Amino acid sequence: SSRYSNIYVCYISLQSTSLTFSTSDVNHTIDVDDLETFRQTMCQDRHGYLSVSRFHHRSCAMCYMYLFLHNRDLYVAPPYEQLIPRNSTAYGSGPITPDIKNSTANEQVCNTLHDDECRRWKACCHEAVKCCQRQRQTPFPEHPQDACLRTWDGYSCWDDTKPGIKVTTACPTFMEHSFSNSESTCLYFWLSLLLLLLLLLLYLCYIMVHLR
């Protein structure tokens, strides 16, 4: 299946030789000449721009929230950069700052998940990190005030897009019951073939029974 992009508000406005960018905390007016420095040090999620380290923590925490909505031992609260145990005595150390490069934090989070869930959560965090790297390595368009700029929406990475353009991307495989387009096509082919063989086997059994 494919997942259509959400409608995002571009928090950008042209002000003579500067642009106003919305971060999670406050609006920043950036001189056009300083855009490259801004790009290399900040990453955007659906709520605004964050420093690289804060983006990593928030995106990884939100991966947990989005992937495992119900009956989980951890929850997130503003500013959504930590996972908080519902039962502090069970996990001891208080809030967990998720960081895919921190093995201790990973172990604490994965202790609340099954093995496959842990793998999916880590995959989501890795994709967010890759998205941040891509954002910082890609130059801004020539007229950034005329585009919806690159963002991580919690599941997928979106590049700069011109107004009026609808873009799509395949469902990430770390989502439950999700397959990429190519995997989905292959899966349905083999399931259809298996069903056909089962029907053929039942037909042959029916023929053999009635020939006796």
Residues 147 and 199 in one domain: no
User: What domain range is 189 assigned to?
Assistant: 179-212
Same domain, 150 and 66: yes
Q: Are residues 79 and 143 in the same domain?
A: yes
146 with 183, same domain: the answer is: no
Q: Are residues 196 and 95 in the same domain?
A: no
98 neighbors 125 (Cβ within 8 angstroms): yes
Whether 84 and 187 map to the same domain: the answer is no
| Alpha carbons 146 and 159: distance in angstroms, whole number | 14
Do 40 and 92 lie in one domain? The reply is: yes
Q: Please indicate, yes or no, whether residues 24 and 126 belong to a single structural domain of this protein.
A: yes
Is the same domain home to 51 and 12?
A: yes
Considering the domain architecture, whether residues 134 and 60 belong to the same structural domain is answered as yes
pLDDT in 10s for each residue of the chain, 212 residues: 333 333 333 333 333 344 555 555 545 555 656 777 888 889 999 888 999 999 999 999 999 999 998 768 899 988 999 999 987 655 556 899 999 999 999 999 999 999 999 999 999 999 999 999 999 999 988 877 778 889 999 999 999 988 888 888 888 889 876 554 434 344 555 667 788 888 888 888 888 887 76
Cα–Cα distances in angstroms (integers) from residue 130 to residues 60, 127, 182, 186, 198, in the given order: 12, 5, 21, 27, 43
